[in-house]
Structure 1
């Protein structure tokens, strides 16, 4: 239990704290809350939300909400993107090879199921046109909270926890693609993405590839050491800022703007997996940068909760119901159905020690959307009643935790009783599962 509560403190408490403060503030003094969120830091600069003054003159408004959601959250998505990149690119990455096929197919079910439930529900309610754009909100899985609940239910050494993390990472990868393709911010101008590509290629060639080429045959690697010691992450941060600006001007959500830079950063050859204790001892520049970002990202998540969770309880409506139905019904059924199809029909199997019923329990755990669902809701709908209702659905997805414990008890998942979960280290993604 001490390690579990340490995990809560490290990864969750600030985000939850920001969300709770936002809920209390918005329901007691909504006018001051929204004034804080929309507080304009400056007007008319090169970046910010587009603002029409009503007379055909469009300028950009840089608000506190823009600072958090569009600028600072880029670092959160960079950390998530780093995990996805390592899982895909490294030789023992968890999203490579046959061992990843069943979780990847289950992930597809965990996205198809919620989308189907959401869109069918919108059609049945006669609000398809109004609500259809929120289809991606219930596809998200919150890695941190799902991991916490999964460990409590199965026990930290259970193979289902590794399966869950692999599924959540794949879900994040799909979510990033969905955000980039289906939720453009303004008019698309894809030519700007050439600037992003140029910044990524340029920083890789000049500060990663070139020093290694110059060090060929030199055991002390003087050029690479100089770059790492004296320049560190700064060239990549500058390239990231250029890429961010390019995404912003291209009409793609700029919070994704740092992702093209991640492959350019020198990285380790071994992926121990997200939350694995061994990751803390990795000293390559990519992992070093992640370690430096840990505390700032926690603070950013507090700001994200504060900026986005301020929903009045009276805002609950059809979008709330659809988001919850997609998460609480579509996720478990989709993951169970497609996971079973992969394991049995296709003969890909499940990790040793994991049974078919565990797939449904995992689906319930993966139904905790929260962070990413909130983010998607903020871009799927314009500010107003529908967006607030959809955000309420994302917040209430915490109810999936209770459903998960009930499902774990019914299907006799190992470690369902909290006391049975041993204080073992976090599971290693990429190990034989």
Structure 2
């Protein structure tokens, strides 16, 4: 098998993509606190790009506003597939992970606000930081620690993490957007309408355009134009990625072997896992500990830690249990509430989107350092705690499977 297909196949693995993300964060942390820290700072702040549409950006901004759009496109595309063909197609089956996601958004934000409103010198503006669970990071932990767990648990986590990432994107669009440019936003909307028409249009004109121009040449420049206009509008550019992902066509037509959604997934997921997320982590997780003397005294630190480690667990498990208790929604028969508790702990990994919201909430200084440090600490603690819980649940499910297999073998042998 050639090297490139092997590499792309590996990058689609949850364990490999999550390991790259974690590795990039560790490198960033070590680099920012090494004798070469000045090189890290200089590289992060080095600016390039055209001035038109405000695209003369630093390396850090290109990673957050540019490369991260690929990740959010994959998230939006995956959500579209779930809405059309997956768990989210059936409202009763989708209810628990969706409500769990909403609980995992609202409760951590409330916890952060409670800590920062009550504490002297609190900074409640960062209430969106503990809202989102990192999909790649969380799936990597689940893949390593939960190999014996039932497949529906991965589906539950994937649905939950996708929904709460979309919630976080909506919050970014409305709560962390300032100085809107109506013209650029209107042109971006026109671009999205054209994107959707080219994807789904059944008329002859749309079909002729799709037949005459290769997909990468048709949608690539259009996607870049939409991204640039959204960036220029004042709305965070990652919104463009989610919007385009949700507009993807998920059905194959006219002799197509695969749908555009499937082809985009195959092409862009390795780029997202192998380039976009690690590069973003490399330039977002470089927290200098030399300036973190007031870390434990900061209300931002405690708000993020409590939001991710306590708020996520309480929100995910509590919302799921209440929904199952008082509505017609029910837990998958293969799962137990202890499994959902493990997902609640795992939800405290709020890495990628949390770091992004931290940068939007605090322009710099001690509060940003405290927020990023707390995100890294909480994500590490949640990874270790969830690995213990999910590992125990994996052994439990393995014992159940062994007993069931022994029972089937006994019945086949005629034993009672």
- TM-score interval, smaller chain: 0.7 to 0.9
Say if 2:53 and 2:232, in contact at 8 Å, map to a contact too. no
TM-score, normalization: structure 1? 0.79
Within 1, Cα distance between the matches of 2:278 and 2:227? 22
- Tell me the alpha carbon deviations over residues 328-366 of structure 1, each in whole angstroms, 9 at most, x when there is no partner: 111111111111110112242211122233322210011
Map residues 25-424 of structure 1 onto 2, 5 A cutoff: 25-28=31-34, 29-41=36-48, 44-48=51-55, 61-88=56-83, 90-94=84-88, 96-128=90-122, 131-151=123-143, 152-153=145-146, 155-184=148-177, 186-205=178-197, 207-209=198-200, 212-214=202-204, 224=207, 227=210, 230-268=213-251, 283-297=258-272, 298-314=274-290, 315=292, 316-317=295-296, 318=298, 319-396=300-377, 397-408=379-390, 413-415=393-395
Name the CA distance, whole Å, in 2 between partners of 1:6 and 1:188.
37
Match of 1:24 among 19, 25, 30: 30
Contact 2:75–2:245, Cα closer than 8 Å, also in 1: no
- CA distance in structure 2 between the partners assigned to 1:124 and 1:289 by the alignment: 47
Cα drift, residue 5 of structure 1: 11
Bigger fraction of residues in helix: 2
Conserved? CA contact 2:96–2:323, under 8 Å: yes
* Shift in alpha-carbon separation, 1:294–1:282, aligned structure 2, 3 A: farther
Secondary structure class of the residue paired with 2:130? helix
For residues 224-276 of structure 1, give each alpha carbon's deviation from its aligned partner in whole angstroms, at most 9, with x where no partner exists: 5983584213222222222212212221111222333334443337xxxxxxx
State the TM-score, normalizing by the size of structure 2: 0.82
Flag structure 1 segments of 5+ consecutive residues without an equivalent: 49-60, 216-222, 270-280, 423-433
Deviation of the 1:120 alpha carbon: 1.0
Unaligned residue ranges in structure 2 (runs of 5+) = 1-8, 403-416
Residues 143 and 161 of structure 1: CA distance in aligned 2, closer, same or farther (over 3 Å) = same
Q: 2-side partners of 1:92 and 1:372: how far apart? A: 24
Structure 1 range deviating more: 251-260 or 147-156:
147-156
- RMSD of Structure 2 on Structure 1 (CA): 3.1
Kindly tell me the number of residue pairs found equivalent between the two proteins.
383
Q: Contact 2:192–2:244 (CA<8 Å) still a contact in 1?
A: yes
